[in-house]
Amino acid sequence: MKAIAVNGSPRKSWNTATLLKHALEGAAAQGAETEMVNLYDLAYKGCTSCFACKEIGGKSYGRCAMKDDLTPVLSRVAEADVLILGTPVYFGAETGAMRSFIERLLFPYLTYTPGYAPIFSGTLQTGLVYTMNVPEKDLAARHYDKTFGATQGYLAKIFGNCDLLLSTDTYQFSDYSKYLSTAWNAETKKARHDEVFPQDCQKAFALGTKLASAAQAS
């Protein structure tokens, strides 16, 4: 059993990456071989609308025809049992790196047929992890719930499932005094991070455990 986590953050040791590491630990506890992919280490583009993945009888039907650093990653994902995507929220949505990855991941499996039936032939348990500075109480007012729900819906459409984990009101800097960030109280942020983020890490571990267990059962 193989579990892959994809980090859509430029940081490799901060909130998003930490939650993904805990999720992989949860999957490993169920016997999964694990891998972390850091998107900001790779050179690639989003979908270019070449439509080679939809050409009937074409050599790239059902898979992305582009050749770059993302190509081998997409191949490994197609053969994996668990996929967990993690991204911070930039301007109300996923990072550009994650959005481009999602385009390349999902579009080849979506058909232009009534109901847009997916053609993914494997069995993949998926999870989606968001980290953000916005407090949980403000998500609906900022329409974040709709953004997260849409992406979760697309993953569920293609793969048949997608669990969602939100980590809100996160700690952005180790030293708030170095940055113009007077909108927040540094002590309050630190206190929340010390109290709540470990709980989010436990939830991430549980997510990895759940997805790996479901993969074993499928």
pLDDT in tens, 150-187: 999 999 999 999 999 999 999 898 888 888 888 888 88
**88 pLDDT band (50/70/90 cuts)?**
very high
Q: Which residue has the higher pLDDT, 155 or 218?
A: 155
Domain that holds residue 138: 2-217
pLDDT value at residue 183: 86
Query: How many separate domains does the chain show?
Result: 1
Q: Looking at residues 86-96, what average pLDDT do you find?
A: 95
pLDDT value at residue 197: 94
Cα separations (Å) of 212 from 5, 34, 128, 153? 12, 11, 14, 20
Query: In this structure, how many other beta carbons lie within 10 angstroms of the beta carbon of residue 175?
Result: 7
Amino acid in position 33: E
Q: What is the CA radius of gyration of the chain?
A: 18
Q: Looking at residues 101-106, what average pLDDT do you find?
A: 97
**216 pLDDT band (50/70/90 cuts)?**
confident
Q: Looking at residues 123-151, what average pLDDT do you find?
A: 93
| CA-based nearest residue to 128, from 107, 157, 91 | 157
pLDDT value at residue 128: 98
DSSP code at position 118: B
pLDDT value at residue 185: 87
- CATH number, domain with residue 60: 3.40.50.360
pLDDT value at residue 86: 98
Helix pair angle (186-217, 15-28), 10° resolution:
30
- pLDDT tens digits, one per residue of 3-24: 999 999 999 999 999 999 999 9
Q: Looking at residues 62-73, what average pLDDT do you find?
A: 96
pLDDT value at residue 175: 85
pLDDT value at residue 122: 85
Q: Quick check: 68 and 44 in contact, CB under 8 A?
A: yes
Query: In this structure, how many other beta carbons lie within 10 angstroms of the beta carbon of residue 192?
Result: 16
